[in-house]
Amino acid sequence: MAITTLDGFSAGNLPPTEFFKVGTAPKAAGVLHSQFYASGNPQAAAIASPGLNGAALTSYAGMIPFTNPGSGYSYLSRLVAWATVSCSLLVCDRLWHNSGIAVTTTGAQGITTPTWPTRDKNGATAGVGIMVGLEVTAATTNAGAVTNCTLAYTGDDGNTGTATMASFPATASLGTFVPFQFDGTKNHGGVRAISGLTLGTSLVTGSVALVAYRVLTMIGLTANIVNQLDILTGSAVRLYDNTVPFILQLPTATTATTIGGHLIVAQG
């Protein structure tokens, strides 16, 4: 049964799951930065190599540990976090990622994604609440910002669209993470499938990957001061079985940032 009371959350709380990431320098203030490849606890994730069509994820070395309940449901009961530099922190579920994108190809690169795991906002595969970002897995050397990247996709309503990206930064560093914006002519609330990527402009060298993800919660952090969310202030979100938690940082500076804290999951 679902947990519906404060007593239920209290009784269902598991011991905290700690995380501690020694991050690399973000590309720029206001540009999301993935901590997936940062050292610490959990370990740095290895660069995936599933090819253009990618792989749906039910676990991955480098994720924040998560264990399915023996019965019942899982919820994010509490998030406690700190950072050495002021930033915002997004805890996300990583549903799919790919590799093999040709960074010098400016034409369309066809992609056939598998069905997402049953972890969209509604615990289904339709893609409600699922976003897609372009993640840098080895630094690029494009001299200027790229403003003509597009993504061909099917929305959660089954209709196709073309997602755009406002700006992919010049010489993007490892971990740079830029989300695509939904097709403005559609009424999509998420991505169900991806059918192609067009970079538009060569990234020259390096490597990038597409990532399908769902934001679970977010928190603002002042340097060296602990902040927290509980079930009344921003958590209590459902964590579906086989969730693959990872962290995105929204930096306020280009200073390398160490981030730590813990998640408390309630099950019942």
Whole-number Å distance between alpha carbons of 54 and 178: 18
Question: Does residue 150 fall inside a structural domain?
Answer: yes
Q: What's residue 46's pLDDT?
A: 97
* Residue 255 Cα to chain centre, angstroms: 21
Q: What's residue 187's pLDDT?
A: 85
Question: Does residue 129 fall inside a structural domain?
Answer: yes
Confidence of residue 234 (pLDDT cuts 50, 70, 90): confident
Q: What is the dihedral of CA 46, 18, 224, 231, to 10 degrees?
A: 120
Question: Does residue 229 fall inside a structural domain?
Answer: yes
Question: Does residue 252 fall inside a structural domain?
Answer: yes
3-state secondary structure of 12: helix
Give tens-digit pLDDT for 26-63. 999 999 999 999 999 999 999 999 999 999 999 999 99
Torsion sign over Cα 194, 240, 259, 228: positive
**pLDDT at 148 > cutoff 90:** yes
Give tens-digit pLDDT for 87-112. 999 999 999 999 999 999 999 999 99
* Beta strands 238-239 and 150-155, pairing class: unpaired
- Structural domain for 44, as ranges: 17-62+70-262
Question: Does residue 227 fall inside a structural domain?
Answer: yes
Q: What's residue 243's pLDDT?
A: 98
Question: Does residue 2 fall inside a structural domain?
Answer: no
CA distances (Å), 63 to each of 35, 116, 118, 136, in order? 10, 18, 18, 17
Question: Does residue 5 fall inside a structural domain?
Answer: no
Among the listed residues 35, 60, 21, the one whose alpha carbon sits nearest the alpha carbon of residue 173: 35
**pLDDT at 184 > cutoff 90:** no
Secondary-structure breakdown of the chain: helix, strand, coil percentages, each rounded to the nearest 5: 5, 40, 55
Whole-number Å distance between alpha carbons of 83 and 89: 9
Q: Quote the number of domains for the chain.
A: 1
Give alpha helix (H) positions in 31-84: none
Whole-number Å distance between alpha carbons of 115 and 121: 15
Six token digits for residue 70: 């023996």
